Amino acid sequence: MAELMLAEAAAAAQLTGVEVDSAGITAYEAGRPIDPRAARTLAAHNISSRLHIAREWRGEWFESRELILALDVDHYGWLRQAAPDRAAVAKIRMLRSFDPAAAGADPLDLGIEDPWYGGHADFDATWELIQAAVPGILAHVRAAQLQPGDQAGCRDHPRRDPAGHPVRSNS
């Protein structure tokens, strides 16, 4: 859900050069379509999920992705342990860390429980938690795009968002 919500919001905000994708940390769901309950929740907000197919995280994405968002604390921990270096760890954030209502919270308190184990109401609650963070994520991306010094992919120092976290953009 988060991938499709963020992609829709980035397009609506006319952010260019932004690519949003998602992956699980295991191959269990790889190749499968989105959960029908998630599709229903997205459709209720006019977001299509018909082309979404689950896939597994690949280690080379630590280098090529500029911001890596985890929704639950288990994935957050896994990603941080799997990261090959400090630069990769710096890219990993809890999605809810961008929610103003969660500002300053410990990352381990920012998890979004997987609604797969619940019912429709759990998917609606997940929508609300993700949606609360979307404006902050978009502001983070916009701030990264506005920072100068990214000529021909050369950078002396990592760019930082307003909270001081290193960021890169595809723009």
Using DSSP, state whether 126 is helix, strand or coil: helix
Residue 151 has pLDDT above 60, yes or no: no
The DSSP letter of residue 48 is: -
Q: What is the pTM of this model?
A: 0.83
- The pLDDT tens digits of the residues spanning 86-129 come to 999 999 999 999 999 998 999 999 999 999 989 999 999 999 99
pLDDT for the residue numbered 168: 43
Domain boundaries, the chain: 2-148+157-167
Name the CA radius of gyration of the chain, rounded: 16
Per residue in 11-35, pLDDT (tens digit) is 999 999 999 999 999 888 899 999 9
Instruction: State the pLDDT at residue 28.
Output: 87
Where on the phi/psi map is residue 131: left (φ > 0), alpha (ψ -120 to 50), or beta?
A: alpha
Residue 148 confidence (pLDDT): 66
Q: Smallest Cα–Cα separation from 66: which of 137, 149, 151, 163? A: 137
Q: Which residues of 7-24 are buried (b: 16+ CB within 10 A; e: fewer)?
A: bbbbeeeebeebebebbe
2-148+157-167, CATH topology level: Rossmann fold (3.40.50)
Residue 169 has pLDDT above 90, yes or no: no
